[in-house]
Amino acid sequence: MRLPIKTLMLTAATTSLGLTDAATAGGHGFKSKPNPYVAGDMHNHNTCADGSVSAGYAIDRSVGTGTDVAGGANFGLDWFTLGNHGGSGNRDCRFADTSANLPGETTKYWSDTLGQTIDGITVTELKGTPNGTGTGARMWRWQSIQEVEWPIIVDRMKKHNKVIIEGLEWVMPGHEHVDVAVVTGQHPKRGRFGAGNADKMAEFEYRFDRADTDAIGPLDADGNQIWTDKDNVNNSGTAGHGKAVAGIEWLQKNFPLQSYVVPTHTERQGPFNPTSSRGYNIEHYRDFNNAGPTVAFGIEAPGHMAQAKTTGSTYGSGSVGGGTYGLSGIYTSKVGGMWDGLLGEGRNFFIYVSSDWHSRGVFGARDAGTTADFIPGEYTKLYVPNGRSFSAQSVVDGMRSGNSYSVNGDIIGPDLVFRAKAINTPRHCPRGWFWHGDHKNDAWKTMGETIVARPGQTITVEMQMTIPAKNFSPYSFNNPLLMQVGIQQPLDKPSLDHVDLITGDITGVIDPSDPSYAVPNAAGTAGAAIVYNPSAKIAQQIQAKDMKVQRNRDGSTRLTFRTTFKMGNTPFYIRPRGTNIPVGTPNVTDSAGEPLIDTLGTQVDCTDPACPAHLQTVNGVRKTSNDVYGWANLWFYANPIFVRPWNSPKLLVEKNAELAAKLAAKGHHGHGHWGHWNGHHTPSWSWNHWNPWFHKVGFDRR
């Protein structure tokens, strides 16, 4: 499926590009120039699993613009992956749950609706192994993927003209949950390939989801099983991990460029347990990346960003880290943590963010407040590169490339520039290479790419980002966390205090036979003390006040800085993160600027008369909790740029990008996909030509 060039659906993320043109007739969004990145969400739920709203409503609120017909803001995402749990569900996701408080909507079970045609979809039977009775009769997820959610996606794709993907929150054998999509066959915009299907997504769910214990699956016209030889035994502990790796190998073999495997809320269930299904240790991520070099390339943030309470967040005390830190898990929030450990091997291992939208807790779907989750696009945004024919394949390609970044609360917009290059390139290197003017080596590199430089060379790093004038916060009172340090900043006006440039040495891929391949993990705050890459550090901390500032007419602010690093003899990576929270803010950041555990931040009093009634209280004092805490404690994380000496071996991130390029050249992109992907850059044109600010940077921080 191909779409016309994507247009940015600007809502909160108003930017300096002048993209807030009037909406076009027909309500399909805004007429605007394209942005370099487009925002999406790959992890969210509806009533086919444990969500609170119908599948169609969830899509409408997430990618629609303006106000929903029943009320409530739409959040204008550019792409959306429906990522329900595997297993089975007893509710009909053509209807919202009663608790969503939507007009005319009450909970409907499959037992209520079998045989009825609703929204053009008729479900006549619950297929596969019988699974419950009465209102507890459940539909296996493979069936709801094929027969319910996919037709709804086809309908919504036409309605919104956005990229919508059928994905899965894989209940992984031996482990926690994992975002997966197999986009093969998914081309819902009718064309020469027809409406397409999500059959491969369904097959993966049937074969490998530990909550899907159906032993039958779909049948052919003769009543024979279509998907045979399912392992329905090894679903837990070490054996389950083996089945999980087999699932990744299946994807790598069959859909090496059309699928992704991204573990989510990775710290929540604690460390790996060899006799149960809990979390992960670093060796499991290594196994995944080894088994699926072009499909298992990262992990995701916790989601549930409005669940920070005085007693805990979406992570309890038994999680690794004992809670969330700046609403991220300890694997990614800690400098030197597990993510840095994996980057320290030079792996293509990136981070992403999604909403994990289920419900608004005590509120209904149309209320502005939430005590549980944000709707996709409201708070978390995963940015991937835009493209001339943006498609489901573009989403997968963008994620795989590492050229993506994750944003909470619109602290920055869709036009991040994070790039680096080696300068003072010699005309002749020792082997006689003629480097000067060699565009391959002189070009700017961005997230997920690798700079090759000579020891002693200067690496120039440049960042440009736009701070939107407003985000979707319904609260305009001053940020209680910042009030502690005398800053008056309304919650609905995002701000940036500083950017950390975090570096770590790359010492090479650890072989599975190496004793250091497996590292003991720990539940609780003990897990936060584990250092996986001792060389990782905040190498530079750039205050927003020291950046070049451009005020834009729409109220947004463009911030720019350049800085430099020196190439040594050891490969390394540079990754940025930014926040609105100053270093050393009581209960929120430590003296280095590291985020503290969120159960400290949620102890901060919320004293403004406008602090809403749904916040938790301690001894009668209202605390900065739930959604207010989310809007108060904002971070963004971007994926790294890798740097290595010219005479050093290629990093795994380079080798795996080359593998993807070879696979693409062999035609592994399926029908209807963007066919000119070059293996690493998602856009087929040069980043320098694409970047509208390329020639406008005048600020040099050196």
Partner 1 sequence: MHTGFVMALLLVAGLAGATVTPSMGGDRETSNGGPVRPKEHGRTLLKYANEPTEEHCLAAVAALRPLVEKLPKGDLSRIFAESYLNQAVVEGGNGEFAECLDEVQHAADEVRNRRHVLRPGESLKIRRADE
Q: In the complex, which residues of this chain contact partner 1 (CB under 8 A)?
A: 49-50, 52, 71, 85, 87-91, 97-99, 101-105, 136, 138, 211, 236, 276-277, 309-312, 316-318, 358-359, 361-364, 366-367, 371-372, 613-618, 620, 622
Taking the complex as a whole, the smallest distance from the CB of residue 323 to partner 1 amounts, in Å, to 11
Closest to partner 1 by CB, 577 vs 622, is 622
Closest to partner 1 by CB, 347 vs 358, is 358
Taking the complex as a whole, the smallest distance from the CB of residue 365 to partner 1 amounts, in Å, to 9
Give the closest residue to 175 by CA, choosing from 225, 234, 128: 234
Taking the complex as a whole, the smallest distance from the CB of residue 99 to partner 1 amounts, in Å, to 5
Amino acid identity at 207: R
Q: Is 282 exposed, middle or buried (0-12, 13-18, 19+ CB in 10 A)?
A: buried
Taking the complex as a whole, the smallest distance from the CB of residue 89 to partner 1 amounts, in Å, to 5
Closest to partner 1 by CB, 49 vs 641, is 49
Cα separation of 634 and 381, whole Å?
12
Q: How far is CA 562 from CA 287, 461, 471, 595, in A?
A: 37, 6, 27, 25
Taking the complex as a whole, the smallest distance from the CB of residue 183 to partner 1 amounts, in Å, to 24
Tokens of 678: 């070059």
Tokens of 519: 């590292």
Would you state the torsion angle of the CA atoms of residues 30, 32, 35, 40, taken in this order, to the nearest 10 degrees? 10
Taking the complex as a whole, the smallest distance from the CB of residue 51 to partner 1 amounts, in Å, to 8
Taking the complex as a whole, the smallest distance from the CB of residue 268 to partner 1 amounts, in Å, to 10
In sequence order, what are the residues at sequence separation of 6 or more whose Cβ sits closer than 8 angstroms to the Cβ of residue 25?
Answer: none
Q: Please report which residue ranges of 64-136 form alpha helices under DSSP H.
A: 110-113
Closest to partner 1 by CB, 110 vs 339, is 110
Tokens of 584: 């050393």
Cα separation of 370 and 196, whole Å?
36
Taking the complex as a whole, the smallest distance from the CB of residue 108 to partner 1 amounts, in Å, to 12
Cα separation of 664 and 447, whole Å?
20
Q: How far is CA 542 from CA 336, 351, 557, 574, 702, in A?
A: 19, 22, 16, 14, 12
Taking the complex as a whole, the smallest distance from the CB of residue 363 to partner 1 amounts, in Å, to 6
Cα separation of 444 and 304, whole Å?
36
Tokens of 694: 């390329």
Bridge partner list, 638: 405
Closest to partner 1 by CB, 50 vs 594, is 50
Taking the complex as a whole, the smallest distance from the CB of residue 307 to partner 1 amounts, in Å, to 9
Closest to partner 1 by CB, 103 vs 667, is 103
Cα separation of 27 and 161, whole Å?
10
Taking the complex as a whole, the smallest distance from the CB of residue 326 to partner 1 amounts, in Å, to 21
Q: Please report which residue ranges of 572-669 form alpha helices under DSSP H.
A: 598-601, 626-632, 652-665
Tokens of 28: 């399909």
Q: Assign 301 to helix, strand or coil.
A: coil
Between helices 150-160 and 55-63, what is the axis angle to 10°? 30
Taking the complex as a whole, the smallest distance from the CB of residue 305 to partner 1 amounts, in Å, to 17
153 touches 1 (CB < 8 A)? no
Closest to partner 1 by CB, 486 vs 620, is 620
Closest to partner 1 by CB, 423 vs 618, is 618
Closest to partner 1 by CB, 44 vs 359, is 359
Closest to partner 1 by CB, 429 vs 600, is 600
Closest to partner 1 by CB, 359 vs 579, is 359
| C-alpha 525 chain-centroid distance | 25
In sequence order, what are the residues at sequence separation of 6 or more whose Cβ sits closer than 8 angstroms to the Cβ of residue 14?
Answer: 20, 413, 468, 469, 470, 554, 555, 556
559 touches 467 (CB < 8 A)? yes
Closest to partner 1 by CB, 140 vs 418, is 140
528 touches 330 (CB < 8 A)? yes
Q: Assign 418 to helix, strand or coil.
A: strand
Tokens of 14: 């108003």
Closest to partner 1 by CB, 137 vs 663, is 137
Report DSSP letters for 465-488, one per residue.
Answer: EEE-S--S-S--SB-HHHHTTT--
In sequence order, what are the residues at sequence separation of 6 or more whose Cβ sits closer than 8 angstroms to the Cβ of residue 63?
Answer: 9, 74, 75, 76, 77, 78, 79, 80, 156, 160, 162, 164, 377
Closest to partner 1 by CB, 54 vs 404, is 54
Residues in the chain: 702
Tokens of 636: 């963004």
Cα separation of 580 and 189, whole Å?
41
Taking the complex as a whole, the smallest distance from the CB of residue 72 to partner 1 amounts, in Å, to 9
Taking the complex as a whole, the smallest distance from the CB of residue 250 to partner 1 amounts, in Å, to 23
